[in-house]
Chain A
Amino acid sequence: MILATAWIKFWESVLIVGFGSFALLVLIVIPMGARDILRLFKKLNGNS
């Protein structure tokens, strides 16, 4: 059971790091992605 407790603690930490870094990524990528889309349209419009 001691080993199981250690694994539970391990997965708790992994989830906190994983979900935390994803939340940060979402906050950064959403506005920057919108800017990229506008640029892409401008570029393709001036394309062949």
Chain B
Amino acid sequence: MFETQFTNLDWVIVIVYLSGTALMGMYVNKYVHNASDYLVGGRSAGTALSIASFIGTGLGLVTLMYASMDGFTKGFSFLVVPLIAFVVYLILGSSGFAIKRLRELKLTTLPEYFEVRFSRQARITSGLIAVLAGVLNMGLFPKMGATFITYATGLGGEDAELTVNIITSLLILLVLVYTVLGGMVAVLVTDYIQFVVLSLGLGLGLWFCLNSPAHHLDWESMVSTWQSSKGEAAFNPVHENSYGWTYVIWQVLIVFTASICWAPEATRALTTQDSGTTKRTFFFGAPGFFVRMAIPAVWGIAAYTFVFHNPELHDFFLGENAQGHPSQAMPLLLGKIIPTGFLGLLVAGLLAAFMSTHDSYLLSWASIISQDIIAPLKGVKKLTDQQSILYTRISVVLIGIFLLVWGIWYELPDSVWTYMSITGMVYLSGSATALIGGMYWKKASTVGALWAMYGGLLAISGLFVEGIQNWYQEKYGKSIEGWFNGPSLTLVVFGVCILLFIAGSVMHPDTDSMSGHKEDA
């Protein structure tokens, strides 16, 4: 049932490709002369390279996994999320809202903004919360990557859980070596390679998903299968049996704030040649941010169709005693419909992308630890190059150890995207409020910014909603009111952060000496 078309030839392709990419990273590393090169790539990426790197960061195996999981469970309705991303990036790119000003300040990390505009304490607080949310957010990345490899290569079966855990550990080790040796210049180059290989890989996967009639896979068959099994809810995202209005509004807010404040993506806005390049990167990057979720969503939609028409798999994934998890469906589908050779190339490209997403993320969070937490706490304006790179590397290893523990202990929820949105909101609800408020409201004060950031911590409660719901169901035999869910809860937290920001700024305005030149930031 779990056998795929992955053969020894494919393993050879994977090993050659990954070794080649690692050697490339080491070669590029020769061009890194100082901390600025290591952390922001010498701030000299042109428009095309910025776009490729911008999309390359977001175009990871993890993105493909969570988008395909929601495609598998919610159908065409999930396409509303990539559509929101498409529109938000077009608007930001054409208006330059917030991103233009951020680039003009020549920052290395985002929390640095809070020191320029508010105070050192605001910077440290933002840095701590950003790292907490960021590391929790990527907590499930290694496990998702390992699940993909296990099921795409035909290793799924009775011992699948053990296999997933072993591969998770190996992947984390590989990522740490890769990141510690490289840096942002290497990221820019390897991201470009990912962009090229994965664009072709995504197209290839899509073509097979829409042209495999032997497996009931073509557009008409997918539409009719979903229509017969889920009805209108498969296509209408605001339908009561689909996501609903609250979720869609929540997504608009998340995509908008993340594009400005979420370090791995927003750091790209800081590494361009000038603010014009930043605007162009966001505008022309928009189709990339659509495709990175829309294509895997179609893969997930196809996986459901494939499983639906295969009696054995239907029982495993959709039967009364279903044991399958949505995360296993898409890799299994690709492993079965993509021919040997092509499959090896696709898995190699996705594994390399997995590395590049991790090195971008690890470097983003680790550089916040060294630049925004350690440096201000030591009372120095700037760490020396050696210190900066050393602290960043130590942070990378510590985050890696956390990922190992969290990845093996925490069970994959049915929607990893919802998990990622909630953990993201821990940082985004407070920091986005303080960032946008600080830019566009003269009376914004340090106390207001700090209150908003602390308020964001309330969003952590969103992670426990599912557990509370299950407990309530067991104890009282019915489910809690419909409004009690992660999206509603974190939307309320966002509102609380805005109120705290306004109240703190009005009740505790900055003194004149503090805010003299800062309002222009």
With A4-B231, A22-B291, A29-B52 known as contacts, the answer to whether A40 contacts B44 (CB < 8 A) is yes
B76 lies within 8 A of A37 (CB): no
Interface bits A5-48 vs B (CB < 8 Å: 1, else 0):
00110010011001101111110111011111101110111011
Size of interface on B: residues with Cβ below 8 Å to A: 46
A41 lies within 8 A of B31 (CB): yes
Which residues does chain A contribute within 8 Å of B45, judged by CB atoms? 36, 40
> Shortest beta-carbon distance, A24 to chain B, in Å?
8
Partner of B236, one of A7, A23, A28, A44: A7
Which residues does chain A contribute within 8 Å of B515, judged by CB atoms? none
> Shortest beta-carbon distance, A15 to chain B, in Å?
7
A44 lies within 8 A of B49 (CB): no
Partner of B48, one of A15, A29, A44: A29
Interface of B, helix, strand, loop or mixed by DSSP: helix
Which residues does chain B contribute within 8 Å of A34, judged by CB atoms? 192
Interface presence of B227 (CB below 8 A): yes
Which one of B99-107, B118-126, B282-290, B506-514 is at the A interface? B282-290
B236 lies within 8 A of A4 (CB): yes
> Shortest beta-carbon distance, A6 to chain B, in Å?
9
> Shortest beta-carbon distance, A21 to chain B, in Å?
4
B49 lies within 8 A of A18 (CB): no
Which residues does chain A contribute within 8 Å of B83, judged by CB atoms? 14, 18
With A30-B196, A33-B49 known as contacts, the answer to whether A40 contacts B79 (CB < 8 A) is no
Which residues does chain A contribute within 8 Å of B291, judged by CB atoms? 18-19, 22
With A19-B294, A40-B185, A44-B185 known as contacts, the answer to whether A3 contacts B79 (CB < 8 A) is no
Beta-carbon contacts under 8 Å, B32-66 to A: 32-34, 37, 41-42, 44-52
A29–B51 alpha-carbon span in the complex (Å): 8
A36 lies within 8 A of B49 (CB): yes
With A8-B235, A44-B185 known as contacts, the answer to whether A29 contacts B195 (CB < 8 A) is yes
A25 lies within 8 A of B192 (CB): no
Which residues does chain B contribute within 8 Å of A26, judged by CB atoms? 199
A25–B291 alpha-carbon span in the complex (Å): 11
A32–B227 alpha-carbon span in the complex (Å): 43
Which residues does chain B contribute within 8 Å of A7, judged by CB atoms? 76, 232, 235-236
List 21 interface pairs A-B (beta carbons < 8 Å), by A numbering: A4-B232, A8-B227, A11-B235, A14-B83, A18-B290, A21-B286, A21-B287, A22-B199, A22-B287, A25-B287, A29-B195, A30-B195, A33-B195, A35-B48, A37-B188, A40-B42, A40-B46, A40-B185, A44-B37, A44-B44, A48-B34
Binding site for B on A (CB under 8 A): 1, 3-4, 7-8, 11, 14-15, 18-19, 21-26, 28-30, 32-37, 39-41, 43-45, 47-48
Known: A8-B76, A24-B287, A44-B42. 16 other contacts (CB 8 A): A3-B232, A8-B227, A21-B286, A23-B203, A29-B284, A33-B49, A33-B52, A35-B48, A36-B45, A36-B47, A37-B49, A37-B192, A39-B44, A40-B44, A44-B37, A47-B34
Q: Which 7 A-B pairs have the closest CB atoms?
A: A32-B48, A36-B49, A7-B235, A36-B46, A22-B287, A21-B287, A18-B290
